[in-house]
Amino acid sequence: MGQLFGTDGVRGRANADLTPELAMAVAVAAAHTLAERDRSHPPLAVVGRDPRASGEMLEAAVVAGLASAGAHVLRVGVLPTPAVAFLVDDVRADLGVMLSASHNPMPDNGIKLFAAGGHKLPDEVERQIEAAVLANAGGGAGTGGWQRPTGAGIGRVRDLADGADRYVKHLLGALTHPLDGLRVVVDCAHGAAYEVAARTYREAGADVIPIHAAPDGLNINDGCGSTHLAPVRAAVVAHGAHLGLALDGDADRCLAVSADGAEVDGDQILAVLALAMREAGTLTDDTLVATVMSNLGLRLAMSAAGIRLLETRVGDRYVLEELYRGKLALGGEQSGHVVLPAHATTGDGVLTGLLLMARMAATGRPLAELAAVVTKLPQVLVNVPVADRTAGAGAPEVLAAVAQAEAELAGTGRVLLRPSGTEPLVRVMVEARTEETARAVAERIAALVRTASPPPA
């Protein structure tokens, strides 16, 4: 099928693309696909969401679908995606569901699924769930070979009152150094970490100034968070903070800002953590995992430090696959997804900020100095709205332009053309010795993508 799942779950405009009916169907299929096979006990599911208004509607549909499949449900309410993943493992649930469109605008929403242990699903399992949704599309008691339970067989629903407490305690258990003396501005994006982020950092010893921490269901990611750094930059300077942290709507990613308001992106954060872990002897095989979108400057910095860099496709799920395959300790993306398998089964923005500040506290060095280990090549990313991602990225004239650009750069830069896995976009990324060169090449290719697949009306 390949139509439901993108790079990070099922995503679309809530109540248009992602309807309650579809959410219920996915929940039923997930329960039957992911629940333990022996059925010696009813399956248990954890369900959480971010604060966007449509999450209330979709949560009701998902919970109903799970209970109709015979699964008991623990609702954890508004918590970050990594908190839901953690709680799936912590309560020994069979599966987890997070309702969030991450950094996307408020009208969107999404369904992220976790298997037992809080792990994201491999492609094959997602394909099984997609097939099950299709097979059961007609509804009814026995479609898809499933019998609906009745009476005592219907799943029960209750709230997990201490979910946030468990998650914060877990995060603090990963702390390598107290944060006493650090002042941090935290932009919560009016999102899922609006309470737990500030609470965690305060309990770790930091002086915390939260901003955009008053979600109303409509303001998530609206001019704030990891996709809009201007507010946190201004707040850091205004409050004389040592740094700022910017989370996205579901807090699975984190970007940072140094004391002077300069951005510290995911590549730089990965470098800081990699060097800290190598020093502590916890960077397995002296290896870091990153994606093809990471800046060439990260590669050069890690090579100079004697750290091997492994590349994956874009998406933290692929970083995770490489980490687990090699039993490695650190990986992530330029966008701020950072994965530390010793502490989390997915990217965790609150954890990332905690460990970044711990490194600052332990060394006594400012963030700008720590991040300077990476000298970034100018990188230009153009997101091109398209009607057809495949046509836009695969047109012969587009591919010819990419080949020509790579020949022009002749090893001094690179071109990456990638259809988005979650939005109707083709991403054109170019690195070069100067920003002018990178922008000129990126815009030239982007113009051809627009011609090959104009944006929808």
Active site residues: 102
Residue the block writes with tokens 């990225």: 393
Sequence-separated (6 or more) residues with CB below 8 Å from residue 152: none
Helix (H) or strand (E) holding 404: helix 396-409
136 CB neighbour count, 10 Å cutoff: 18
Give dist(CA 323, CA 343) in Å, integer: 13
H helices present in 331-386, as ranges: 349-363, 367-371
Per-residue 3-state assignment (H helix, E strand, C coil) for 295-316:
CHHHHHHHHHCCCEEEEECCCH
Backbone angles phi, psi at 24, to 5 degrees: -65, -40
Q: In sequence order, what are the beta bridge partners of 247?
A: 254
Is-contact 35 95, C-beta < 8 A?
yes
Give dist(CA 240, CA 222) in Å, integer: 25
Is-contact 290 262, C-beta < 8 A?
no
Compute CA distances 442 → 29, 361, 450, whole Å.
42, 40, 12
Give dist(CA 94, CA 114) in Å, integer: 9
Closest CA to 256 of 316, 184, 204: 184
H helices present in 100-153, as ranges: 123-135
Closest CA to 87 of 196, 178, 10: 196
Structure tokens at 142: 């026995």
DSSP string spanning 248-281?
-TTSS-EEEEETTS-EE-HHHHHHHHHHHHHHHT
Question: Would the CA dihedral through 14, 15, 17, 22 be positive or negative?
Answer: positive
Residue the block writes with tokens 């201004």: 234
Reduced to 3 states, what is the DSSP secondary structure of residue 354? helix
Residue the block writes with tokens 């609470």: 199
Angle between the N-to-C axes of helices 20-34 and 54-68, in degrees from 0 to 180, rounded to the nearest 10: 40
183-187 and 207-211 strand pairing: parallel
